[in-house]
Amino acid sequence: MEETIKRMHEEHCGCDVTKRIIRPNGDVRYVRCVAVPILEEGLFKAMHGTTIDVTDHELLTQELRRERAYLAEAQRLTHTGSWACNLLTKQIFHSSDENARLYGFDPSQGPLPFDRFFNSILAEDESAIKLKLEEAITAGADYDVEFRIRRADGAIRFLRGIGHHTASQESGHYVGITIDITDLRRAEVERQKLQGLESELSRVNRISMMGEVAAALAHEIKQPIAAAKIDAKVCVGALTEDRLDLQTARDAAARMAQEAAWASDVVGRTMALFRKETQRELVSIGAVMREMAVLLHQEATTSSIRIRNELGVDVPDVTADRVQLQQVIMNLMLNAIDAMKDSGGELTIAAHRADGEILISVRDTGVGLPANADHIFESFVTTKPHGTGMGLAIARSIVEAHGGRLWATSNDGPGATFLFALPADAT
């Protein structure tokens, strides 16, 4: 105020300022002072002015500013913009700063025309959105649409627009919000990929399991073949000239036909599981580790287990069967989770390059290796009450088929670490 009064005296200018005062009773009031200079024949004579108590107005203004700031911050946090416009006349009455930012515009540029917003919509979505808006305007109804835009920097974003028709205003008058749903749509795509991955891993697990139990199926095949051999001898013996026995020969031949069908059926059921051929491609170890961590996150969290992912900076891609590699890591991680289910703990999956190999490890803080640790990679050996004893056998078979090796060690502290190494140039 001192500076203002000094300037008024020196420059003979008026003022319009708001100041705070303290009354004798201690109340703080906002006072607006408006003054104009009085001149006579070009000479300054005096100042005339008014003093107005604007406390209520100032407090309401401050509250409004706070609420607008809260609203703007909420819109920024939720990626939601607000607007009001006439869709028929294309006149925009209000567009929040966040609404402009959603489209990639700078709010400091000031009001933007309707076409700047609408022309951001991708050509593939424009006709469908235009039709929905026209139908809503004609019916005087609300609308809820999703569409894609291309920002000035080339980024594609998914937006959702919700408009409410204000019947009290002229035709085409809408108020509404725009929400950035890009992360939601991308999450849905990733969730679908994970569901497909889970389904594929389940299928491969079944196939690999059948591959490991081929010896058991071979026993079933041997039985009908052995029976058929016996009946063949019976049939040949019954058809010799010195003791011809047609009935015995017919019965033996009929049994041979049944036994052949039996063997064929066993083989057919087994081969049906192997119709899908494996394919090798360049696979990112880091990507597979992240996929498995996401896939098993819920199961680990349920048992109070935290998953840590440690990927070295120098780990190259490998040529491998992606699904089989996923299967190995998943089996090792599931075993680690089982080892910590009762106590919780930490599961660490890591990968780094060492001596021309890529070394992947799965470390847990669970119960450690069993007494028969030397046999845990053999088929049908298990420490679980309901286990099949096939998981580690399958994992070792896959790793060795890729030119690698799989083993396990006890930790210095609690738990165990399972490791497998793949050639850095695996083919």
128-146 pLDDT, tens digit each: 999 999 999 999 999 999 9
57-70 pLDDT, tens digit each: 998 988 888 888 88
Task: Give all strands of the β-sheet with 80-86 in edge-to-edge order.
Answer: 91-95, 80-86, 173-180, 156-165, 143-150
The residue that leads in pLDDT, 29 or 171, is 29
- Are 303 and 257 in contact by the 8 Å Cβ rule? The answer is no
Domain assignment of residue 201, yes or no: no
Over 90: is that where the pLDDT of 246 sits?
no
User: CATH no. for residue 169?
Assistant: 3.30.450.20
Q: Outline where 279-403 has alpha helix (H).
A: 285-295, 297-302, 322-340, 391-401
- Across the range 173-193, mean pLDDT stands at 89
Q: What is the pLDDT of residue 32?
A: 94
360 lies in the same domain as 228: no
Looking at 221, 251, 274, the residue that finishes a domain is 274
- Across the range 184-198, mean pLDDT stands at 82
Q: Residue 207 — pLDDT band, cuts 50, 70, 90? A: low
Residue 295: strand, helix, or coil: helix
159 lies in the same domain as 175: yes
Looking at 255, 274, 293, the residue that finishes a domain is 274
- The H-or-E segment that residue 252 falls in is helix 246-271
Over 70: is that where the pLDDT of 226 sits?
no
104 lies in the same domain as 24: no
Over 60: is that where the pLDDT of 150 sits?
yes
Domain assignment of residue 64, yes or no: no
- Across the range 242-259, mean pLDDT stands at 82
Q: Between the ranges 234-248, 288-302, 329-343, 376-390, where is the mean pLDDT highest?
A: 329-343
Q: What is the pLDDT of residue 361?
A: 95
Q: Residue 219 — pLDDT band, cuts 50, 70, 90? A: very low
Q: What is the pLDDT of residue 264?
A: 72
Q: What is the pLDDT of residue 272?
A: 46
Q: How many domains does the chain have?
A: 4
Q: Residue 273 — pLDDT band, cuts 50, 70, 90? A: very low
220 lies in the same domain as 86: no
Its domain, for residue 288, covers 281-423
161 lies in the same domain as 255: no
Q: pTM higher than 0.85 for the full model?
A: no
Q: What is the pLDDT of residue 367?
A: 86
Over 50: is that where the pLDDT of 270 sits?
no
374-427 pLDDT, tens digit each: 767 775 555 554 444 567 877 888 888 888 999 999 999 899 999 999 988 644
Looking at 274, 306, 323, the residue that finishes a domain is 274
Over 60: is that where the pLDDT of 274 sits?
no
Q: Which long-range contacts link 276-281 to residues 24+ away (Cβ below 8 Å)?
A: 276/203, 276/207, 278/321, 278/323, 278/324, 279/321, 280/319, 280/320, 280/321, 280/427, 281/319, 281/320, 281/321, 281/322
